[in-house]
Structure 1
Amino acid sequence: MAPQHSSGDLLADRRYRYAEACLDEGDHAAAADLAEQVLEIAPRYAPAWLLLGRAREGLAAGGDAPMRDAAARAFACALDIDPDDTLGVRAQLVRLGAGDGLPALSPAYVKALFDGYAPRFERHLVGGLAYVGPDLIRDALPGLPERFGTALDLGCGTGLMGTAIRERVDHLTGVDLSPGMLALARAKSWQGRPLYDRLVEGELGAVLAGDAASSVDLCLAADVLIYVADLGPVLAGIGRVLRPGGLAAFTVQSHDGTGAVLGADGRYAHADSHVAEAASEASLAVLTLCSAGVRREAGLPVPGRVVVLRRTAA
Structure 2
Amino acid sequence: MPHRFFLSSGDLIADRRYEFARDLQLKGDLAAAAEVMEQAIEVAPNFASAWFELGQIRIALGETDKAITAFQNACAADPDDRHGAGVRLMQLGAAPLSDMPKAYVRSLFDQYAPRFEAELIERLNYRAPAILFKAVLAVRVAEKKPAYFQRAIDLGCGTGLGAAAFAKNVDSFIGIDLSAGMIAQARETGLYAALEVDDMTAGLQRQPDLSADLVLAADAMVYVGDLAPVLAEAHRVLRPSGLVTFTVETHDGEGVIMGKGLRYAHGAEYVRGVIQSTGLQLKHLEPASPRTEEQLPVRGLAVVATRT
Q: Name the TM-score, length of structure 1 as normaliser.
A: 0.90
Structure 1 CA distance, aligned partners of 2:203 and 2:36? 43
One-letter code of the match for 1:150? R
Q: Structure 1 stretch 199-208 or stretch 138-147: which is displaced more?
A: 138-147
Q: Which has the higher contact order (CA 8 A, sep 6+)?
A: 2
What does residue 220 of structure 1 align with?
Answer: 216
Query: Deviation string for 1:226-284 (max 9, x for gaps)?
Result: 01111122211111111121101111111111111111211111111011000001111
Q: Give the secondary-structure state (helix, strand or coil) at the position aligned to 2:232.
A: helix
Q: Which of 110, 127, 134 is the aligned partner of 1:132?
A: 127
Structure 2 CA distance, aligned partners of 1:171 and 1:95? 39
Q: Structure 1 stretch 112-121 or stretch 284-293: which is displaced more?
A: 284-293
C-alpha contact 2:113 2:181 (8 A) present in aligned 1? yes
What does residue 148 of structure 1 align with?
Answer: 149
- C-alpha distance 209-294 of structure 1, shift in aligned 2 (>3 A): same
What does residue 273 of structure 2 align with?
Answer: 277
Structure 1 CA distance, aligned partners of 2:58 and 2:123? 31
Structure 1 CA distance, aligned partners of 2:260 and 2:50? 20
Tell me the number of residue pairs that the alignment of Structure 1 and Structure 2 aligns. Answer: 298
What does residue 236 of structure 1 align with?
Answer: 232
One-letter code of the match for 2:223? Y
Q: Structure 1 stretch 89-98 or stretch 117-126: which is displaced more?
A: 89-98
Query: Deviation string for 1:96-127 (max 9, x for gaps)?
Result: 32215642x21111011000000000000001
Q: Which of 37, 43, 46 is the aligned partner of 2:45?
A: 43
What does residue 290 of structure 2 align with?
Answer: 294
Which segments of 5 or more consecutive residues in structure 2 lack a partner in the other structure? none
Q: Structure 1 stretch 110-119 or stretch 293-302: which is displaced more?
A: 293-302
Structure 1 CA distance, aligned partners of 2:214 and 2:13? 54
Give the superposed CA RMSD.
Answer: 1.7
Structure 1 CA distance, aligned partners of 2:21 and 2:167? 47
C-alpha contact 2:158 2:186 (8 A) present in aligned 1? yes
Query: Deviation string for 1:120-144 (max 9, x for gaps)?
Result: 0000000111101111111111343
One-letter code of the match for 1:37? Q
Shift of 1:13: 2.6
Question: Is 1:106 matched up with 2:101?
Answer: yes
Question: Is 1:120 matched up with 2:115?
Answer: yes
- C-alpha distance 232-26 of structure 1, shift in aligned 2 (>3 A): farther
What does residue 64 of structure 1 align with?
Answer: none
Alignment of 1:31-70 (within 5 A): 31-59=33-61, 61=62, 68-70=64-66
Q: Name the TM-score, length of structure 2 as normaliser.
A: 0.91
Q: Which of 202, 210, 213 is the aligned partner of 2:198?
A: 202
Shift of 1:85: 1.1
One-letter code of the match for 2:166? I
C-alpha contact 1:4 1:45 (8 A) present in aligned 2? no
Which segments of 5 or more consecutive residues in structure 1 lack a partner in the other structure? 62-66, 189-193
Shift of 1:200: 0.9
Q: Give the secondary-structure state (helix, strand or coil) at the position aligned to 1:293.
A: coil
Structure 1 CA distance, aligned partners of 2:23 and 2:29? 9
Question: Is 1:304 matched up with 2:306?
Answer: no
Question: Is 1:185 matched up with 2:181?
Answer: no
Q: Structure 1 stretch 67-76 or stretch 145-154: which is displaced more?
A: 67-76
- C-alpha distance 97-33 of structure 1, shift in aligned 2 (>3 A): same
C-alpha contact 2:98 2:225 (8 A) present in aligned 1? no
Question: Is 1:18 matched up with 2:20?
Answer: yes
Alignment of 1:159-170 (within 5 A): 159-170=160-171
Shift of 1:25: 4.9
One-letter code of the match for 1:159? G
Structure 2 CA distance, aligned partners of 1:70 and 1:300? 31
Over the matched positions of the two proteins, sequence identity in percent amounts to 46
